[in-house]
Copies of this chain bind each other. A is one copy, B any other.
Amino acid sequence: MRHDGRSAEQLREIRLTRHFTMHAEGSVLSEFGNTRVICTASVSERVPGFLRGSGKGWVTAEYGMLPRATGSRSDREAARGKQGGRTLEIQRLIGRSLRAVMDLDALGERAIVLDCDVLQADGGTRTAAITGAWVALKDAINGLLADGVIKKDPMHGQVAAVSTGIVDGQAVLDLDYPEDSGAETDLNVVMNEAGAFIEVQGTAEGHAFRRDELDEMLRLAEIGIKELQAHQLASLKQD
């Protein structure tokens, strides 16, 4: 029994709210319990320099936290004049995860930026970001298809992400902040709809983890991601 009453294999309440803001080609509020992340997809006809003239497209991500998304206020990165290492690490992870299911040739020479901004943090912001960003990207791509800008769907897979960890000696799924800050080990997993891995990132916070612990965390991740992918598909069916 976990501090919030969940079982080890249970996700927090998941809500994926599409059309959360009005300007972006895709805009999703992704909530994993109290963690709330706005994920917007912005389509641009301008690709990065290394792709200009190649006919190939690009998908990238940027991540940010509002200064008071967390329990104590953190400095605004724009005011400090640079993005921190954690921010860069997370936005690189989001970008790689989504490119893993994109055919960039089929996208054509255009770029899609996924902005994932954390309004409220309670653990698992990167997994909520990836899970929500996939839906925002889908909306943006569907818009391009509907407008006839592209003919063929460049998305060839579905992506979701979840965290698992060892808390008080037990493997649990989808850690909230109190669990995360006390975890001995933290494993973030990104998977596609076939149950194959796109990213696996495990870190021993307290003591090193054994192979059997890794196996148990991977089992939980698979359970969680299946459920998250069902949430993604359900949200796409709503207007």
Mark A residues whose CB is within 8 Å of B: 21-24, 27, 34, 36, 38, 40, 42, 44, 62, 64, 66-73, 76-89, 91-92, 96, 100, 113, 115, 117, 119-121, 157, 187, 191-192, 194-204, 207-211, 214, 218
Contacts and interface: CB of A to CB of B under 8 A. Distances in A.
Main SS of the interface on chain A? Answer: mixed
Contact of A200 (B62, B100, B214): B214
A120 B200 contact: no
Given A208-B192, A208-B194, A211-B218, A42 B73 contact: yes
Contacts of A72: 42
Contacts of A194: 208
Contacts of A89: 85, 88-89, 92
A66 B78 contact: no
A225 to B, nearest CB: 12
A68 B40 contact: yes
Nearest to A67: B115
A118 B121 CA distance: 18
Nearest to A64: B78
Residue among A80, A191, A203 with the highest chain B CB neighbour number at 10 A = A203
Contacts of A80: 78
B198 A199 contact: no
A212 to B, nearest CB: 10
Given A67-B115, A85-B89, A85-B92, A208 B197 contact: yes
A96 B203 contact: yes
Given A197-B214, A199-B202, A202-B197, A208 B71 contact: no
A107 to B, nearest CB: 17
A23 B87 contact: no
A154 to B, nearest CB: 16
Given A21-B119, A115-B66, A204 B197 contact: yes
Contacts of A187: 200
A120 B20 CA distance: 10
A201 B204 contact: no
